[in-house]
Amino acid sequence: MPYKILNEKGDWLVQVQRGGIRKTQRGSGGEKEAKRVEAQLLAGLDAEEGRRRAAKVLGLELSPKPNASVVPPTLLEFFSERWVKHAEVTQNARTRNRSAFWFQYVLYYLGEKRLTDCCEPRVINEFIEKMVTNGQLSFARNKDGTPRKILGKELRHSTINKSLQGLRSLLYLAYQEKVIPSAPAINMLPEDNSDALVPPTEEQFARLLDVCENYHLVAPLLRQVTEFTAETGLRPGEVFALTRRSVDLDRSSIRIETQGRVTMVNGKPWKPKCNKFREVPLSTKAKAIMVERCTRLEPDDLVFPNRGGAPYIRLDYAPKDSGKGFFPDAVKAAGMKGSMTFKHLRHLFAVRLLTRANHGCERDARALEYSADGKAVWAVRVGCASEVGRSQGPRPLLTLQTVKGTSRRVERSP
């Protein structure tokens, strides 16, 4: 049978063959969708077979033979001449700056190789082996010309995968522009997601807030942003995209609007995990911050102004889309460098939510639903009795949902 239903969810695998050419496609939607895709693939293969037969009868070639005299560019030449210009148009400044580090390893090991050679599995495997064997490299130099000190030795699989993703994107662009005949399939390395994300303690968080006050001149909203994020559990992108229109002070809540932007990855649409609408209730502290911030704002004004993805501007005359976030500086000054990031504020909110649930709360709230870098997706759903009318009834249950959909209910202690 050309198609096969893989599981009860309706995932399927379709594989058809005509004239020595095989096509395979995976998808979901049940048997009806599998049959439709099967017919579509067969029609495409039949059309290709008809064109080949007609070309053979007429003595024509469907595709011209490559010109052996044309030497393909090296990876470094294609990167400097095409990829940089392409990225300036299709990527924002923040994405380009972040990807520059991962491309340094690609250019260091593969820069002198031809693009056609970079498509060979052997070359890609050697690139991975060198990154694992040699570990971290220093690409920056001090003022005296000496290389900067390397903080670590080994490269984690997540770091290597970032470089592989950059290489894959570059080769796919070369394939789209017909510089290479085909784009290679590059497999990512398995990543170890067992590292614990430990949120800060209340004492550490209080010390961080005190340090944030020292940055008031250069980052006047740093304390408010830090405290508001810990009180609501929002992601950084959600905090700095929040507008006055999405704040409902009468209902003590904020709306996280659906993200309409779609990113194309290897020619396929990809949407972020936050591409959905939800409403987040405001605690007393969070509402007080919103009341202070939203007093004189227009509906479309940002609650926490920022440029270029950074919450604060260092210089008024800095170029467009340039800025500096001072949260890492405050973390370092508080003595928590290496153990505290902006994401940990979201985890602190989760811990607080569980703690407050064990002591009762005033409203029902779906508080969290997220995936931390591929780690277990989980949601905390707290159903709490109101103090009026149900205060004498049984305490509600706390439900933890995991990525596989299984749930575990733990009854609270009286």
As a whole number of angstroms, the distance between CA 332 and CA 340 comes to: 9
- pLDDT for res 389: 30
CB count in 10 Å sphere of residue 165: 17
Residues 6+ apart with CB under 8 A from 298: 244
Q: Counting every residue, how long is the chain?
A: 414
- pLDDT for res 165: 92
Domain 202-411 has CATH 1.10.443: yes
Residues 6+ apart with CB under 8 A from 109: 127, 130, 131
Cβ atoms of 222 and 312 within 8 Å: the answer is: yes
Q: Tell me the domain boundaries of the chain.
A: 3-58, 75-176, 202-411
As a whole number of angstroms, the distance between CA 288 and CA 269 comes to: 39
- pLDDT for res 406: 37
- pLDDT for res 193: 56
- pLDDT for res 378: 36
* Residue for token pair 């030449």: 77
The torsion angles phi and psi of 176, rounded to 5 degrees, stand at -65, -35
The torsion angles phi and psi of 407, rounded to 5 degrees, stand at -130, 155
- pLDDT for res 274: 55
Taking Cα atoms as reference points, which of 165, 16, 20, 183 lies closest to residue 115? 183
> Residue 344's Cα: distance from chain center in Å?
16
Strands 21-27 and 12-18, how do they pair?
antiparallel
As a whole number of angstroms, the distance between CA 28 and CA 9 comes to: 8
Cβ atoms of 303 and 282 within 8 Å: the answer is: no
* 10-residue mean pLDDT series, the chain (414 residues): 76 80 81 85 82 78 56 91 90 82 91 92 92 85 74 80 92 90 87 71 93 85 91 87 91 80 61 70 93 90 72 51 74 89 89 67 41 36 32 36 36 35
- pLDDT for res 366: 43
- pLDDT for res 402: 35
CB-side exposure of 273: number of CA atoms within 13 Å? Answer: 9
- pLDDT for res 384: 34
Q: Ramachandran region of residue 373, left (φ > 0), alpha (ψ -120 to 50) or beta?
A: left
- pLDDT for res 265: 61
